[in-house]
Amino acid sequence: MKKKVQITDLTELADYFWEIPISFRKDMRVPARVLASRSILDDIIEDRSLNQLVNVSALPGIQKSSLVMPDVHEGYGFPIGGVAATLYPEGVISPGGIGYDINCGVRLLISELEYEDVKNKMEELSKEMYAQIPSGMGKGGQITLSKDQMDQVLTQGAEWAVENGYGKKEDLEFMESHGKLPDADPSLVSDFAKKRGTSQLGTIGSGNHFVEVDYVEAIFNAEIAEAYNLKKGQMVVLIHTGSRGLGHQIATDYIRIMMNAMPKYNIELPDRELACVPFNSEEGQQYYKAMCAAANYAWCNREVISWEARMAWKNVFGKTGGELKLLYDVAHNIAKIEDHVIGTKKQKVIVHRKGATRAFGPEFEELPEAYKNVGQPVIIPGSMGTCSYVLAGTAKSRDLTFGSCCHGAGRRLSRRAAKRQVNAPTLKEELRERGIYVEAGSFKGIAEEAPIAYKDVNAVVETIQNSGVAKKVAKLRPVAVVKG
């Protein structure tokens, strides 16, 4: 039995940056590093996430270090909040380093309205959002895709939504990878995976996915907020979901394939959940191209949900509501081929981000013109009873974390534990009394996603800010929430 990581096994490299040295276990190829304050570290040490981080450091071809963010908690194979870069093209790709919900991600829509002018309409808005945006386990939406349409979505991503009247062309500029990965190959996605996704476009699903109406409670960086067009008191809409059943099935299919293929490549791992193959192998290329297809589905999904949110907005506010414009859309369960400096040399690597958000600084060539001087927007949801944040990535993130930061508050209670501790009807009423209107398909979903189930997002974001990985820009306060 492998020994559990203890606080005494970590060395403090710098403020908020810790290392489990390569000497901790003989199969480690690189150190394992943790971005956390001391108080957050004390919480992290309680579960298996740091042991999972050490396991990740044993992956063939891994570069520099395995990493976790301050919102880390244990997951399948990789910890959630994990980052690992493997050498391109012969390093491995691991579905466990991306997650079952491929391209789960977030986007933020910004409005022209101020909360003080419309706060008496929040209950009506929450009900209209719930009516327009399908949510819940296995729930289908307004669109049923034919076989050809499914292949188009998997190839075109968010462009499909725009071309078919479910989105805005100007949104594409404000999406990671412009809402499409070009390497997608629908022929490598199983018929069963496609079947699961046929009626789920434009739906948020269940679990921790949501659509949330917030207002900007505070601005921390006036210059960046101005570039992002964010103002104190402004109404915004936060959307969090991914590739639904299609992405889950792709992960399931390829984890099975990789488990069977590993002996062929003489790959031995400390945990079978890290199943992987060389990126340039037949199986590696097949998975990567299928993953890109799922990522495209997810970007299309969030674009269609935005269309539904815009419809609800118009139904409640009419012409006075103005437009909902996309601030940014960013993934937090994905693998990307990127250039990073390893030692003194620029290298191509396959960056796995699982529950971690890309956070590139002003130098990043993909950024929209409006954000070129301030860095990439990073959107960090909290919980439905607390707050969320908008951050801006920095150049320093490339040096420290392969251009990555946290993706949310991070769970501290399992779903089962949350259900045991939370009375959902009481919680819903308490939130209502605080001016937060929650609409959900079941009380089970509310209990599982209760604020006490999550870490303190303020402490997580402070850690990110103080480490220099990203800068705080704005704080968002929820007023209407749609859950699965």
Residue-range domain boundaries for the chain: 7-412+454-483
Banded pLDDT at 140 (limits 50, 70, 90): low
Task: Tell me the angle at which helices 282-317 and 122-132 cross, rounded to the nearest 10 degrees.
Answer: 140
Residue 1: is its pLDDT beyond 70?
Answer: no
Mean pLDDT of the region 208-218 = 95
pTM of the predicted model as reported, rounded to 2 decimal places? 0.96
Q: What is the pLDDT of residue 51?
A: 97
Catalytic residue among 209, 332, 352, 407: 407
Model confidence at 136, in pLDDT bands (50, 70, 90)? low
Q: pLDDT for 397-422, tens place per residue?
A: 999 999 999 999 988 888 888 888 98
**Beta bridge partner(s), residue 352:** 84, 335
- Does 3.90.1860.10 match the CATH number of domain 7-412+454-483? yes
**CA gap 294, 287 in Å, rounded:** 10
Q: Which of 110, 72, 124, 174 is nearest to 401 (CA)?
A: 72
Q: In whole angstroms, what is the distance from residue 357 CA to residue 81 CA? A: 9
- The pLDDT value recorded for residue 229 is 98
Q: List C-alpha distances in Å: 83 to 57, 295, 413, 469.
A: 10, 18, 22, 14
Mean pLDDT of the chain: 95
pLDDT category at 483 given cuts 50, 70, 90 is: confident
What was the pLDDT predicted at 144?
93
How much is the average pLDDT of 171-180? 98
407 in active site: yes
Q: How confident is the model at residue 2 (pLDDT cuts 50, 70, 90)?
A: confident
pLDDT score at 400: 95
